[in-house]
Amino acid sequence: MIDVAVIGAGAAGIAAALRLQAAGLRVQILEARNRVGGRAVTDHSLGVPADLGAAWLHFATDNPFTTLARHQGQQVLEQEPGWGSPLLATHFAAAEAAGVAGLDVPVSTVVPDDEHRARFDAVMTWAVGMPSEQVSTLDLHRYDESDHNWLVTEGLGTVVAGAAQGLSIALNAQVTHIDWRGPGVRIEGSHGVLQARAVIVTLPTAVLASASAPRFTPALPASHQQALHDLPLGVCNKVFLRFDEADLPAGMLHSIGDTRTSRTASWSVRPAGQPLVMAYFGGPLSQELEARDELEAFAREQLTQVFGAELARRAGAALCTGWGRDPWALGSYSAARPGAADARAALASPVSPHLLLAGEACSINRYGTLPGAWDSGTQAAHTLLRTLGDTP
Ligand SMILES: Cc1cc2nc3c(=O)[nH]c(=O)nc-3n(C[C@H](O)[C@H](O)[C@H](O)COP(=O)(O)OP(=O)(O)OC[C@H]3O[C@@H](n4cnc5c(N)ncnc54)[C@H](O)[C@@H]3O)c2cc1C
């Protein structure tokens, strides 16, 4: 029997396993995909690195992946994207004031409905993955301000994968059943059967709330099931278009597509310095385009409108993500339903001394990010270390 099984080799699972292993415990990670990293992965099919999931080092001066990237010899680009728009200051102030007052209501009900509202709603779909009707003022207020947002030339997914070195990880290991009747836990799946003293489950909330989730015996408590329901995943997607070096301006550039509608993309020219143009879609538009396989067509059409026909003609091969239909993610990042901002704390509370949930959705101040997932995994490991230290 091993000491701890960790389900999922994303940032949370890697952090938990590293902490437990450093304490001398025998740890086994079970990962359904054929790779580590989860929602952080760098793709090279366009001939240059492209981060399909996490790309930004949010909270960059206080982000474990900034340190890891440097240890791995990667180039961290300390160039701020300049996302903040003074036009939206009153909207963000109104949402913040509601959160400070302890109101847990839809952001859409407290922000001004003025000429900049569509732009604000679009920003919500990218930042939170949800339309502002489905964004909680309290959840938004609790999110730490990310003052520094940097990129990694070789890709952040590469950094996350590198962090898993030295861990014992079974790939292509889909967990289907977790029996935690005790004294230990019994984990079944495509790997066979694994017995452990304890388990940390780091699956995305949308996966755990779906019909394809691993079965728990006994079932998860009602409090945790409710929390999973209250923390759905938004669906953000990226379309990368490849360019020749000479066809793009020299520096990185970030801009908004159509400012008159929330159904538009956010654009990055030369993301992480690569010869690419990237369109970022969020919320219902992203979900609909993905479901209809129209992400690329929409991106090319918008490229013409935003940057002109001349540049659009030079766009080469495209690469699209599909996070909504990815069976091991079923979305991009979690958003608390209005009225349910406390679901994150409920999800993070131990199910039993030998069964804990972890992952970005458990982070109250840095949800939806790699450092939030990392902190959650580390926290779960600390909790288990106390428990396992008390029992043989
Ligand atoms: C499009 C997009 C853009 C993003 N941008 C950023 C960004 O710029 N910066 C940032 O910090 N964050 C960003 N994020 C969020 C970040 O990627 C996540 O918060 C983080 O990767 C979540 O880590 P996690 O360990 O909680 O979950 P995951 O990384 O999802 O790990 C869970 C693991 O569980 C595995 N799994 C699922 N089901 C099973 C099963 N039955 N059995 C075994 N294993 C299973 C999955 O394959 C996965 O590897 C982005 C995400 C997306 C999708």
Other residues' Cβ atoms within 10 Å of the Cβ of residue 82? 10
Q: What is the pLDDT of residue 251?
A: 87
- Per-residue pLDDT of the chain in tens (392 residues, 90 and over written 9): 899 999 999 999 999 999 999 999 999 999 999 999 999 999 999 999 999 999 999 999 999 999 999 999 999 999 999 888 889 999 999 999 999 999 999 999 999 999 999 999 999 999 999 999 999 999 999 999 899 999 999 999 999 999 999 999 999 999 999 999 989 999 999 999 999 999 999 999 999 999 999 999 999 999 999 999 999 999 999 999 999 999 999 888 888 999 999 999 999 999 999 999 999 999 999 999 999 999 999 999 999 999 999 999 999 999 999 999 999 999 999 999 999 999 999 999 999 999 999 999 999 999 999 999 999 999 999 999 998 875 54
What letter does residue 334 receive in the DSSP assignment? Answer: B
User: What does the buried/exposed string (b/e) look like for 305-322 if buried means 16 or more CB atoms within 10 Å of the residue's CB?
Assistant: ebbeeebbebbeebbbbe
Q: Is 324 in the pocket of ligand 1 (CB under 6 A)?
A: no
Q: Are 298 and 274 in contact, with CB atoms under 8 Å apart?
A: no
Residue 279 alpha carbon to ligand 1 centre in Å: 20
Q: What DSSP line would sit under 115-126, residue for residue?
A: TTHHHHHHHHHH
Q: Is 271 in the pocket of ligand 1 (CB under 6 A)?
A: no
Q: What is the pLDDT of residue 252?
A: 86
CA dist 48 to 54, 61, 241, Å? 16, 26, 11
**Phi then psi for 295, rounded to 5 degrees?**
-60, -50
Return the bridge partners of 188, or none.
Answer: 177, 193
Helix (H, G, I), strand (E, B) or coil at 153: coil
Q: Is 240 in the pocket of ligand 1 (CB under 6 A)?
A: no
Q: What is the pLDDT of residue 392?
A: 46
Of 7, 57, 203, the one to substitute when testing ligand 1's pocket (max ligand atoms within 8 A of C-beta) is 203
Helix (H, G, I), strand (E, B) or coil at 278: strand
Residue ranges of alpha helices (H) inside the chain are: 11-22, 64-71, 89-100, 117-127, 137-142, 156-163, 205-208, 222-230, 283-291, 295-307, 309-314, 343-348, 370-390
Return the bridge partners of 278, or none.
Answer: 240, 268
Q: Are 117 and 320 in contact, with CB atoms under 8 Å apart?
A: no
Helix and strand numbers, DSSP H then E, in the chain: 13, 17
Residues 6+ positions from 217 with CB-CB distance below 8 Å: 177, 178, 179, 180, 181
User: What does the buried/exposed string (b/e) look like for 3-22 if buried means 16 or more CB atoms within 10 Å of the residue's CB?
Assistant: bbbbbbbbbbbbbbbbbbbe
Q: Is 50 in the pocket of ligand 1 (CB under 6 A)?
A: no
Sign (positive/negative) of CA torsion 49, 205, 21, 23?
positive
Domains of the chain with bracketed CATH: 2-37+164-232+338-390 (3.50.50.60)
Please give the model's pTM, rounded to 2 decimal places: 0.98
Return the bridge partners of 242, or none.
Answer: 276
The residue whose C-alpha atom lies closest to atom 4 belonging to ligand 1 is 54
Helix (H, G, I), strand (E, B) or coil at 361: helix
Residue 375 alpha carbon to ligand 1 centre in Å: 14
d(CA 238, CA 321): 6
